[in-house]
């Protein structure tokens, strides 16, 4: 039987978490020859995910530098991909989302006239400065890609507005596939503070914050508000696994050190993170991935951004936009911590982003596109 050589390309932690189950699905199926190329735009945070999913890349560009700029990531990935694509000659390159790796990976494949599949396609804020540079990255990849795997119907409709209708598949988000393999009721944390926390009698708030457009004053505002939340509510324990970016490390330690109920930890491995999320009371984050995972686990989310490209969970009532100013963040968190009715309105499971079968649909769609299957996959519909 003819096999299709499919290369997955990724480099950051969120891409790895969302591409690992797809890389494993492709490797399992006889109709594909699966090859994996990592740029290592992230090093430690990528390796942690590869380790958990037992994924061994065939190519590793090892591009990460401390305080890397957007130009250095893009140029190193682009030139590094040249040699990889010449050697491997895949039939299809799969990229994910909106990072510099995503953009460079798609562009390199295009230069080599290799078709591109875009996983997590069609997310938009329509503000090119927010998220920066991700909004422009994903639009450029949308223009290059031949296959577009949209998590939700709204994402598909966004592409239709850009006259992209061919090769579009509604699949759900692969992050929900990943989440189904990581959360366990009897999970024991290896991070000591997480094993000692009283998740029943205390209100554990899980925080993450790393976005480039929040560097500087917005990040200072967010962190000041977080400290004030901890000061105002003695039953709150705030857990913040701090991203390894030196800019974020500096801001987090400057504003949040030396508080008995604020716990700054190293980045958690993905199993620790998902199990902490499953036990916490509330999530406050500027992350994209956490906005998708927390609703599936029934955890309310305050988004520390001015906008979101993930409006589905806002519509479902489990996510609210808190912005990047100190006062509204403090006010919205205080309301959820002091008003049980308000909290209950948000604390219900919602699955607008996936049903755990996104990877299967994407693999089926690729097989269909290459003539190895008679029918396309059934589209994802929210549960």
Active site residue 120: yes
Q: Is 14 in the site for ligand UDP (CB under 6 A)?
A: yes
DSSP 189: -
When the beta carbons of 266 and 383 are compared against ligand UDP, the nearer one is 266
**290, interface contact from ligand UD1, ligand UDP, none, CB < 5-8 Å by kind:** ligand UDP
Find out whether the peptide bond into 133 is cis, omega within 30 degrees of 0. yes
By CB under 6 A, residue 268 contacts ligand UDP: yes
Task: Supply the minimum distance, in Å, between the C-beta of residue 99 and ligand UDP.
Answer: 7
Q: Which of 119, 185, 122, 113 is nearest to 153 (CA)?
A: 122
Stretch that binds ligand UD1, among 65-73, 76-84, 233-241, 319-327 (CB under 6 A): 65-73
Residues 150-179 that bind ligand UDP (CB under 6 A): 175
Provide the H-helix boundaries in 5-133: 13-28, 44-52, 70-88, 100-111
- Rounded-to-integer distance, Cα 254 and Cα 221, Å: 12
- 337-357 burial, b if ≥16 CB within 10 A, otherwise e? beeeeebeebbeebbbbbbbb
Give the binding-site size for ligand UD1 (rule: CB under 6 A): 25
Residue 118 among the catalytic residues = no
For residue 356, state whether it binds ligand UDP (rule: CB under 6 A).
Answer: no
Residue 58 burial (10 A CB sphere; 0-12, 13-18, 19+): middle
**Other CB atoms within 10 A of residue 227 CB:** 17
- Taking CB under 6 A as the binding criterion, the range among 12-20, 255-263, 310-318, 347-355 that sits at the site for ligand UDP is 12-20
Our finding on whether 291 is near ligand UD1 (CB under 6 A) is: no
Report the distance separating Cα 323 and Cα 107, nearest Å: 33
Q: Are 93 and 113 in contact (CB under 8 A)?
A: no
Query: Rounded to the nearest whole angstrom, what is the least distance from the CB of residue 73 to ligand UD1 in the complex?
Result: 6
244 binding ligand UD1? (CB under 6 A): yes
CB 76 within 8 A of CB 108: no
User: Minimum CB separation from ligand UDP for residue 254, in Å?
Assistant: 19
Binding segment (CB under 6 A) for ligand UDP, from list 113-121, 139-147, 184-192, 265-273: 265-273
Binding region for ligand UD1 (CB under 6 A): 12-14, 41-45, 64-68, 70, 73, 99-100, 133-134, 210, 212, 243-246
């Amino acid at each position: 039987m003819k096999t299709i050589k499919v290369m997955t390309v990724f480099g950051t932690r969120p891409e790895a978490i969302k591409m690992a189950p797809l890389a494993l699905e492709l490797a399992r199926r006889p109709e594909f020859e699966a090859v994996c190329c990592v740029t290592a735009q992230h090093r430690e945070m990528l390796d942690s995910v590869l380790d958990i999913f037992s994924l061994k890349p065939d190519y590793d560009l090892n591009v990460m530098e401390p305080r890397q700029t957007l130009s250095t990531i893009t140029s190193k990935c682009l030139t590094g991909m040249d040699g990889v694509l010449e050697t491997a000659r895949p039939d299809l390159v799969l990229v994910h989302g909106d990072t510099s790796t995503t953009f460079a990976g798609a562009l390199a494949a295009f230069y080599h006239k290799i078709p591109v599949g875009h996983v997590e396609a069609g997310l938009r804020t329509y503000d090119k400065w927010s998220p920066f540079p991700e909004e422009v990255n994903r639009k450029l990849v949308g223009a290059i890609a031949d296959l577009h795997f949209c998590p939700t119907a709204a994402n598909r409709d966004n592409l239709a507005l850009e006259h992209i209708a061919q090769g579009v598949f509604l699949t759900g988000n692969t992050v929900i596939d990943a989440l189904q393999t990581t959360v366990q009721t009897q999970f024991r944390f290896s991070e000591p503070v997480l094993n000692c926390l009283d998740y029943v009698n205390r209100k554990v708030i899980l925080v993450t914050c790393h976005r480039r457009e929040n560097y500087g004053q917005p990040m200072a505002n967010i962190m000041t508000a977080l400290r004030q939340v901890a000061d105002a509510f003695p039953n709150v324990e705030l857990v913040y696994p701090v991203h390894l970016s030196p800019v974020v490390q500096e801001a987090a330690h400057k504003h949040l050190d030396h508080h008995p109920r604020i716990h700054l930890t190293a980045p958690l491995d993905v199993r620790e993170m998902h199990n902490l999320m499953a036990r916490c009371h509330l999530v406050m984050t500027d992350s994209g991935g956490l906005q998708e995972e927390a609703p599936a686990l029934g955890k309310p989310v305050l988004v520390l951004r001015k906008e979101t490209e993930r409006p589905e969970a806002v519509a479902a009532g489990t996510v609210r936009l808190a912005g990047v100013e100190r006062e509204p963040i403090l006010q919205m968190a205080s309301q959820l911590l002091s008003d049980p009715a308000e909290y209950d309105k948000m604390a219900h499971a919602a699955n607008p982003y996936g049903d755990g079968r996104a990877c299967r649909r994407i693999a089926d769609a690729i097989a269909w596109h290459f003539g190895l299957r008679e029918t396309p996959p059934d589209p994802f519909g929210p549960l």
